[in-house]
Amino acid sequence: MPQATDVAAVKAYLMDLQERICAALEAADGGARFSADSWERPGGGGGRSRIIENGAVLEKGGVGFSHVFGDGMPPSATAHRPELAGRRFQAMGVSLVMHPDNPHIPTSHANVRFFIAEKEGADPVWWFGGGFDLTPYYGNEDDCVHWHRVARDACAPFGAEVYPRFKQWCDEYFFLKHRNEARGIGGLFFDDLNDWGFERSFEFLRAIGDAYLAAYLPIIERRRGMPFSAEQKTFQEYRRGRYVEFNLVWDRGTLFGLQTGGRTESILMSLPPTVRWGYDWQPEPGSAEARLVEEFLPPRDWLEGVN
């Protein structure tokens, strides 16, 4: 007998998560506040975008909640799941990206989401997905180890194999194939999670959603006072270009949002405020900028020998 799903409980958790994350990041920034922008989707549903800009720490950040529904699935969903064709669907989630001003503080991204497709006379098709990942501009081993330790500890109650499996999935997903380069130093990524049953899967989603602040806030505090130069800011903008490339070319969530008629401003709120491309630009050999690409971005086990 299929386990009952509690869509209302998922929605309540996601809306509360958005509020908690915004409050904590406002406190960490100490300057700017999040604005709130509610929107409706003509095809069904809507959401609430929370945006912070020009803060003491955060140059731009967005924490969005959305709950959209409709009678038909977009091509991005049915291409790989033909059994979803002809079903009405609901998709809800919280997605966030933080772009700090200081290049020594990494950009962070997190997302937790739930999807359900239903049709009369058939069992619902549902799953959870999400994760979080870190995109540094200047590599720091302590930050990378801390980020992955929090990820591992969040996964630990669900089995020793969960962290390495979802860590590898993250490394493979956040990869710019056209550059043959990782977007950052990874974290966790999972999708189509339903084989644990609804209650256990929902519990895992909450563990990942709740772990984001524990992973990111200590890094902000360690790096916020570090001085940086105009040249380092320029390098940050070059690397932000890679972030934009991934989101617009490869990210499935972006494609799903655009193909379902989602609100473009909210879908693209993850893009950084300033970005730079230079023809065949390369960092100086042996520099800290070169070390990022050569030593930090290639996937590795950040917790080898770490308790």
C-alpha gyration radius of the chain: 19
Whether residue 146 lies in the annotated active site: no
Is 94 labeled as ligand-binding? no
Is 44 labeled as ligand-binding? no
Distance CA 119, CA 73 (A): 12
Is 242 labeled as ligand-binding? no
Is 57 labeled as ligand-binding? no
Is 104 labeled as ligand-binding? no
Is 225 labeled as ligand-binding? no
Strands 125-135 and 186-193 come out as antiparallel
b (16+ CB within 10 A) / e for 164-193: eebbebbbebbbbeeeeebbbbbbbbbbeb
Distance CA 99, CA 119 (A): 41
Q: Which amino acid is at 86?
A: G
Distance CA 76, CA 78 (A): 6
**Considering 67, 104, 109, 146, which one is annotated as catalytic?**
109
Is 111 labeled as ligand-binding? yes
User: Which stretch of DSSP H or E encloses residue 118?
Assistant: strand 107-118
Is 95 labeled as ligand-binding? yes
Is 307 labeled as ligand-binding? no
Binding-site residues for a divalent metal cation: 99, 109, 148, 178
Q: Which residues are annotated as a binding site for substrate?
A: 95, 111-113, 261-263
Q: Which residues are catalytic?
A: 109
